[in-house]
Amino acid sequence: MSGDILKRIAEPSLQVVGYVVLAVMFLYILTPLVWMFLTAFNPEGGPFLELPKEFTLDNFVMIFTGEPIKGRAGAAHPFYMTRWIQNSFFIASVALLLVVTMASMAAYSLSRLDFPGKSLLMTFILLIGFMPSMAKILPLFKLCLMFGFVDNLFGVAVVIASSILPTQIWILKGFFDSIPRELEEQAWVCGCGRFTTLMRVVLPVAGPGIAVVALLSFLGAWGSFTIPLILIRSEDLYPISLGIASVFIHNPGEIGLAVDYGPLCALSIVYAIPSLAIYYLTRKYLMQVRLGKMEVR
């Protein structure tokens, strides 16, 4: 009986404690985002969380036109938002294409073919993937100099793709492994050659996996900072990540080195939108991913 009473008291109170913990974590995570959002639309936003007295789109206009806002201390350094977005899109798209084509071919052969040294090769790929890209940046930089990849958007995309590729091969291999061989054999019996089987059966069935790899490589390249930082010198080749950093460095606000928060927050929001949009578009596939296993019947 006493156990029951304890249970009756303890269970609800545990629940309350749980909710309090969750609420605190929720606030902790959400507050900076709320601040960023409010500040972006606030004509007088600062480093404090405050409700704007007026609502404005000036910050967004400013980052796209590069024109300073009237009545505010002018930006010492222009914004090239449109150009940065173009650069980022270029890098991310090229990286995506490279990773998807190469990872799907590599993963398919690793999944279906048997050859000597296969497990060694797989371990090697994994090790390279786990190695932080900064650890190999010196030889990589040398290599980039040789190939003319320095200060070259395509070169940056290739380097980023190469750093993303190994893990994506592993992810896709998991997907191909989960496609029953019988599906392919069925296709062969129906008259498909290897290539037709790949195009008409394997790739469509692996669709969700490929979508996931595409999403991850796009986001990886879109968010990449250090590789462009090292490889890009001209300001008109900056992707957004470098652009935001340059604003920090070059655009002090009114008081000394304080940052002009309004445009920066607007910048950050614009930077985040493609990632969110892509997530939204591919969420259907993401939901089908069950840790690399698909339900195929």
Task: Give the residues lining the site for other proteins (CB under 8 A).
Answer: 180, 182-183, 185-193, 196, 201, 204-205, 207, 295-297
Two structure tokens written together for 134: 């900064």
Q: Which is nearer to other proteins, 161 or 201 (CB)?
A: 201
Q: Least distance to other proteins from the beta carbon of 177, Å?
A: 16
Nearest to 265 by CA among 253, 279, 283, 282: 253
Q: How many whole angstroms separate alpha carbon 153 and alpha carbon 221? A: 12
Q: How many whole angstroms separate alpha carbon 128 and alpha carbon 164? A: 10
Q: Least distance to other proteins from the beta carbon of 113, Å?
A: 16
Q: Which is nearer to other proteins, 50 or 185 (CB)?
A: 185
Q: Least distance to other proteins from the beta carbon of 192, Å?
A: 6
Q: Which is nearer to other proteins, 117 or 191 (CB)?
A: 191
Q: Least distance to other proteins from the beta carbon of 71, Å?
A: 58
Q: Least distance to other proteins from the beta carbon of 286, Å?
A: 17
Q: How many whole angstroms separate alpha carbon 231 and alpha carbon 144? A: 8
Q: Least distance to other proteins from the beta carbon of 294, Å?
A: 8
**Interaxial angle between packed helices 261-288 and 81-112, expressed in degrees from 0 to 180 and rounded to the nearest 10:** 20
Q: Which is nearer to other proteins, 14 or 190 (CB)?
A: 190
- β-strand partners of 290: 293
Q: Least distance to other proteins from the beta carbon of 189, Å?
A: 5
Q: Which is nearer to other proteins, 206 or 244 (CB)?
A: 206
Q: State CA 236 to chain mean position distance.
A: 22
15-50 in b/e burial notation, b at 16+ Cβ within 10 A?
A: eeeeeeeeeeeeeeeeeeeebbebbbbbbebbeeee
- Asked if 203 contacts 219 with a C-beta cutoff of 8 angstroms, the reply is no
| Rama region for 148: left / alpha / beta (φ>0; ψ in -120 to 50; rest) | left
Q: Which is nearer to other proteins, 201 or 269 (CB)?
A: 201
Q: Least distance to other proteins from the beta carbon of 75, Å?
A: 51
- Asked if 223 contacts 232 with a C-beta cutoff of 8 angstroms, the reply is no
Q: Which is nearer to other proteins, 118 or 250 (CB)?
A: 118
Q: Which is nearer to other proteins, 103 or 179 (CB)?
A: 179
Q: What SS3 class is residue 79?
A: coil
Nearest to 77 by CA among 291, 247, 205: 247
Residue 260 CB contacts under 8 Å (≥ 6 apart), including other chains = 72, 73, 75, 247, 251, 252, 253, 254
| Alpha helices in 251-290, H assignment, sequence order | 261-288
